[in-house]
Amino acid sequence: MTAAGYLGFKLRIGRDPIGTELAAAADLRRAFPALHLMADGNVAYRTHDALRVGRALHDLGFGWLEEPLPTDGYVGYEGIRARLPLPLAGGESLQDRRSAREALDRGAFDLVQLDVSICGGIGETIAIGGLARLAAVAIHPHACNGAIGLAASLQVLAALPDTTRLPNDSPMLEVDFGPNPARTHLLARPLPFRDGWFTIPTGPGLGVEVDEAFVQRFDRA
């Protein structure tokens, strides 16, 4: 992972006992003291467990805890946000600016993770970015799908207001390590990546070209 140039790593937690996962998180921090670490709670916790996990991750120097509670309306998020020293992230299932504004007005997140393929596209994502800017909330787009979603998210990152970006003006693109041909083989030319940074394509549209031969092979499989 670090040899490939990645500067940050997000853990998926909430599947194993809390003590086991926190011990693994501590081991990872000791092994990679300079790596930017984050954790996705996968809606796995009740409030008291979310607070326990979030406080422990804060002590380990993690960057944020993502969606530890159920995401239906993001009920209760503002309550644990007020009690956590660690930034609380969420919002990938928000579907439009109305629901995003309601969550932002309640103070549900320190960092909102809009998914361009869910919340209405690039224009709607940028519009919600303006609302987040007014609320002093950062945006880290959720993009754990195929190459087209990644390309669209790169364009979003280039257009977001500066004050909605992550600390030190370093916008981040989420990339899944799991096997996914729609991410690794869909494009005629992979998204350019070097030393931890993607170059935003500058061609027409999203700046990428679909490998039509792959699509035809994949469709017949």
CATH at residue 118: 3.20.20.120
Q: Is residue 3 part of a domain?
A: no
Q: How does pLDDT run across 113-139, given as a tens digit for each residue? A: 999 999 999 999 999 988 988 888 888
Q: How does pLDDT run across 4-20, given as a tens digit for each residue? A: 777 889 999 999 999 99
Q: Is residue 168 part of a domain?
A: yes
Q: Is residue 208 part of a domain?
A: yes
Which amino acid is it at 28?
L
pLDDT (0 to 100) of residue 174 = 82
Q: Is residue 1 part of a domain?
A: no
Percent residues over pLDDT 90 in the chain: 64
Q: How does pLDDT run across 161-220, given as a tens digit for each residue? A: 765 554 555 667 888 877 888 888 899 998 888 888 888 988 899 999 999 998 888 766
| Dihedral angle, C-alpha 125, 130, 132, 134, nearest 10 ° | -170
**Which candidate in 48, 58, 140, 142 is catalytic?**
142
Q: In what order do the strands lie in the sheet with 138-139?
A: 8-12, 36-40, 65-66, 88-90, 111-112, 138-139
Domain tally, the chain: 1
Q: Is residue 131 part of a domain?
A: yes
36 is catalytic: no
35-39, 143-147, 205-209: least confidently modelled range: 143-147
State pTM to two decimals: 0.89
- Domain hosting 15: range is 8-220
Question: In this structure, are residues 211 and 185 in contact, taking their beta carbons and an 8 Å threshold?
Answer: yes
Q: Is residue 2 part of a domain?
A: no
